[in-house]
Copies of this chain bind each other. A is one copy, B any other.
């Protein structure tokens, strides 16, 4: 439905499907993210969303967006900031899927998710415990489930991660970043709506 939401609690993901069922997860959503902007602006969303954990959302009425832009230009600016951040995450994911090897891709994805979780305010063990299954990872990286598993096992053998209880425990973020050849950009002041 064409509403705009702010995520207050929980994890989810955005994905697209091909007619024959192939699925591509394009990004994850977590607290502080804006969901449904495309639908609000352009009439219909070109992707679907699914929850990974129970989520708590704050609803904006679809029509309110224009009046918010008139009444609160600084909030409008923040909305655009968040859209722009989403764009740069997608750029990074595209680089990963297009040009990194399977191992690098997995390492990048996990480091990326932990970094985002921390910046979303999750602290301690909560940020390093990702509520995703290997099929989510496969459909994010553009790999088969089997190969994703083998790749994960390799990184697990090196002590970088551990899979248990349909969640992934990230043990060494810096190690993963090195594997992925990822230089995390410094995130400036980040608006929370």
Contacts and interface: CB of A to CB of B under 8 A. Distances in A.
Interface of A: 14, 16, 18-20, 22-24, 26, 37-38, 41-44, 46-47, 65-66, 69-70, 73-74, 76-77, 79-81, 83-88, 90-95, 97-100, 139-142, 181, 183, 185, 187-188
Contacts of A84: 37-38, 41-42, 83
Contacts of A26: 90-91, 94-95
A189 B171 CA distance: 48
A91 B16 contact: yes
B38 A88 contact: yes
Given A23-B99, A41-B77, 19 more contacts: A16-B92, A18-B95, A22-B100, A24-B95, A24-B99, A26-B95, A37-B80, A37-B87, A42-B81, A42-B187, A43-B188, A46-B88, A46-B92, A66-B77, A69-B77, A69-B80, A76-B77, A98-B139, A98-B141
A18 B99 contact: yes
Contacts of A187: 42
B37 A142 contact: no
A91 B47 contact: yes
B90 A87 contact: yes
Count of identical protomers in the assembly = 2
Contacts of A97: 94, 97-98, 142
Contacts of A38: 84, 87-88
A76 B87 contact: no
A175 B7 CA distance: 41
A97 B96 CA distance: 10
Choose among A37, A43, A87 the residue with the greatest number of B CB atoms under 10 Å from its CB: A87
A181 B91 CA distance: 23
Contacts of A95: 16, 18, 24, 26
11 contacts: A16-B91, A22-B99, A24-B95, A42-B84, A42-B85, A46-B92, A47-B88, A73-B73, A76-B76, A83-B87, A98-B141
